[in-house]
């Protein structure tokens, strides 16, 4: 009977949980027989150091573990630098149905690892992992800030204040002054309207009319509390912005390069670099990166039938950044990105066009980081130039 070739002589598989980690060390003996041992450890640092000693005893060269929530990070921190660590997708290592235990799971992982049947996920360097934490935390604060501002709108509506109908941004300088005065007890529309900036487009009469409401003590308390919360969140975001800029300062050139892409601003460039890292060696091609990020068409075919083209699951932080950047690029009057969006939106719909535009932005970012080149916009007339004859026929038919 043919047997599979052993790729790695001495490996270990870890089944990771919150409180315990079950380790199976597996090696090929001198006579060709397989030796293995299973042991359970805690997840405290002391227990994980004991796990490291056990793996060193057998001179384990490769360790594989599932990407279980955030619990794998503690183990990774202890074992990193001592042996090759592989973080693998749980979907790739499903055990035989009906035979799932912690012991069997770690044995199965070790066996797959020894025969080279696993594929390691991308785990960036400790420095880039810090960038990720800072970037994702800032994104969460932005979401919280938006939620609090929405609560402010709700309180104003409940008090019959229609300020948002005449001021586009109630959290601007004029809006904040008016809201603070309302929270402090001022209710005269004429006095409140004077607090508005001269640059407001709304007339004094319209502003006064929008400020005539039914504000009670409850509304004033809520406004004061929410305004304090908004200011606190803004202070936290400013603090994170400074920290991110400080930590990513060695790669400022790469950030400025990404900032030149249509739709990408400074924060978007920082978010992309935090998720991708400054080096592109871990991604063999732009297609590989797109698939990893979840920005490529799905591949689901059976019996010569294409069943679904839905994009696969990927990095949610990159998808969010690319989608926001795509909407910004699509609203531009000129440039290749806006032209591509119009071309696709007419045939495939706005949402699919945005995903395709996000894919284009990601591909451009990949080549800019890999080749250290600046963005070269193809121009808003790129599609017309590429299909000159078809464009001419179309225009003639419209004239006729």
Residue 391 placed within a domain: no
Q: Based on the fold, state whether residues 258 and 380 are members of the same structural domain.
A: yes
Who's near 197: CB < 8 A, 6+ residues apart? 172, 173, 174
- Helical spans, DSSP H, in the chain: 45-57, 72-79, 102-114, 126-158, 173-184, 189-194, 204-210, 217-247, 252-258, 266-276, 286-293, 316-330, 336-348, 350-371, 382-386, 388-399
Tell me the β-bridge partners of 86: 64
CATH value at residue 32: 3.30.420.10
Backbone angles phi, psi at 292, to 5 degrees: -60, -40
| 291/314 Cα distance (integer angstroms) | 7
Please state, in angstroms and rounded to a whole number, the distance separating the CA atoms of residues 278 and 167.
Answer: 42
- The per-residue pLDDT for range 338-387, each reduced to its tens digit, is 888 888 888 888 888 999 999 999 999 999 999 888 777 777 777 767 77
Handedness of CA 221, 225, 226, 230 (dihedral sign): positive
CATH code assigned at 213: 1.10.287
Note whether residue 230 is domain-resident.
Answer: yes
Is residue 74, in this structure, part of any structural domain at all? yes
Which of 247, 282, 317 represents a domain boundary (last residue)? 247
What is the three-state SS of 79-91? Answer: HECCEEEEEECHH
235/275 same-domain check:
no
Q: Does residue 177 sit in the same domain as residue 270?
A: no
Residues linked to residue 10 through DSSP beta bridges, in sequence order: 27
Give residue-wise pLDDT tens across range 237-273: 999 999 999 999 999 999 999 998 888 999 999 999 9
Residue ending a domain, among 83, 114, 145, is 114
DSSP annotation string for 262-326: TT--HHHHHHHHHHH-S--TT-SSHHHHHHHHT-S---EEETTEEEE-PPPP--HHHHHHHHHHH
Residue 310 tokens, joined: 């839905």
Residues 110 and 144 in one domain: no
> Is residue 351 domain-resident?
yes
Other CB atoms within 10 Å distance of the CB of residue 341: 24
My answer on whether 143 and 73 are in the same domain is: no
State residue 309's pLDDT score. Answer: 63
Residue 2: inside a domain: no
Pairing of strands 10-16, 20-28: antiparallel
Q: What is the pLDDT of residue 306?
A: 63
pLDDT digits (tens, 9 = 90+) for 88-97: 987 777 655 6
Q: Are residues 266 and 381 in the same domain?
A: yes
- Total domains present in the chain: 3
Query: Is residue 399 in a domain?
Result: no
- On whether both 175 and 65 belong to a single domain, the answer is no
pLDDT value of residue 2: 43
> Are the C-beta atoms of 59 and 37 separated by less than 8 Å?
no
Same domain, 81 and 172: no
CA atoms of 5 and 2, how far apart (whole Å): 9
Task: Output the furthest CA–CA distance in the chain (Å, rounded).
Answer: 94
Instruction: Please check whether residues 315 and 367 belong to one and the same domain.
Output: yes
Q: What tens-digit pLDDT sequence spans the chain (400 residues)?
A: 346 788 888 999 999 999 999 999 898 877 778 888 899 999 999 999 999 999 998 889 999 998 878 899 999 999 998 999 999 987 777 655 655 677 788 888 888 888 888 888 888 889 999 999 999 999 999 999 999 999 999 999 999 999 888 888 889 888 899 999 999 998 888 888 888 877 787 788 888 888 888 889 999 999 999 999 999 999 999 999 999 999 999 999 999 999 988 889 999 999 999 999 888 888 889 988 988 888 877 666 555 666 666 777 888 899 999 999 999 988 888 788 888 888 888 888 888 899 999 999 999 999 999 988 877 777 777 776 777 777 778 778 888 8
pLDDT value, residue 397: 86
Q: Which domain holds residue 54?
A: 10-114
Residues 131 and 109 in one domain: no
Task: Answer yes or no: do 105 and 220 share one domain.
Answer: no
Which pLDDT score, from 0 to 100, does residue 302 have? 54
Indicate whether 88 and 146 sit together in one domain: no
Contact partners, residue 306, CB within 8 Å, separation at least 6: 300
Question: Would 392 be classed as within a structural domain?
Answer: no
């Amino acid at each position: 009977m043919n047997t599979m070739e052993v790729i790695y002589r001495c490996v270990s598989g870890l089944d990771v949980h919150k409180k315990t980690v079950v380790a199976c060390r597996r090696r090929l003996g001198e006579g060709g027989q397989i030796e293995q041992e299973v042991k359970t450890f805690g997840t405290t640092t002391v227990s994980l150091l004991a796990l490291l000693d056990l793996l060193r005893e057998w001179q384990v060269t490769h360790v594989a573990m599932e990407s279980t929530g955030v619990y794998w990070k503690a183990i990774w921190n202890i074992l990193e630098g001592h042996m090759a660590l592989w973080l693998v997708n749980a979907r790739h290592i499903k055990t035989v149905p009906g035979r799932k235990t912690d012991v069997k799971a770690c044995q199965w992982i070790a066996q797959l690892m020894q025969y080279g049947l696993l594929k390691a996920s991308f785990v960036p360097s400790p420095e880039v992992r810090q960038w990720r934490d800072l970037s994702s935390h800032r994104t969460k604060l932005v979401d919280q800030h938006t939620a609090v501002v929405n609560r402010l709108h709700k309180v104003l509506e409940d008090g019959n204040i229609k300020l948002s109908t005449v001021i586009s941004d109630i959290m601007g300088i004029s809006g904040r002054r008016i809201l603070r005065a309302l929270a402090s007890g001022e209710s005269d529309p004429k006095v409140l309207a004077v607090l508005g900036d001269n640059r407001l487009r709304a007339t004094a009469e319209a502003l006064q009319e929008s400020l005539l409401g039914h504000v009670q003590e409850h509304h004033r308390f809520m406004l004061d509390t929410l305004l304090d919360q908004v200011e606190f969140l803004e202070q936290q975001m400013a603090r994170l912005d400074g920290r991110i800029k400080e930590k990513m300062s060695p790669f400022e050139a790469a950030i400025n390069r990404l900032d030149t892409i249509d739709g990408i601003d400074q924060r978007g460039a920082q978010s992309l670099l935090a998720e991708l890292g400054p080096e592109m060696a871990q991604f063999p091609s732009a297609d590989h990166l797109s698939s990893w990020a979840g920005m490529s068409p799905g591949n689901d075919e059976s019996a010569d039938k294409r069943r679904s083209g839905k994009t696969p699951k990927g990095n949610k932080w990159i998808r969010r950044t690319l989608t926001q950047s795509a909407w910004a690029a699509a609203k531009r009057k000129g440039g290749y990105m806006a032209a591509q969006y119009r071309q696709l939106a007419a045939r495939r719909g706005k949402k699919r066009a945005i995903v395709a535009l996000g894919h284009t932005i990601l591909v451009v970012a990949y080549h800019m980081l890999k080749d250290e080149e600046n963005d070269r916009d193809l121009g808003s007339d790129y599609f017309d130039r590429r299909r000159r004859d078809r464009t001419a026929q179309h225009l003639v038919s419209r004239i006729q």
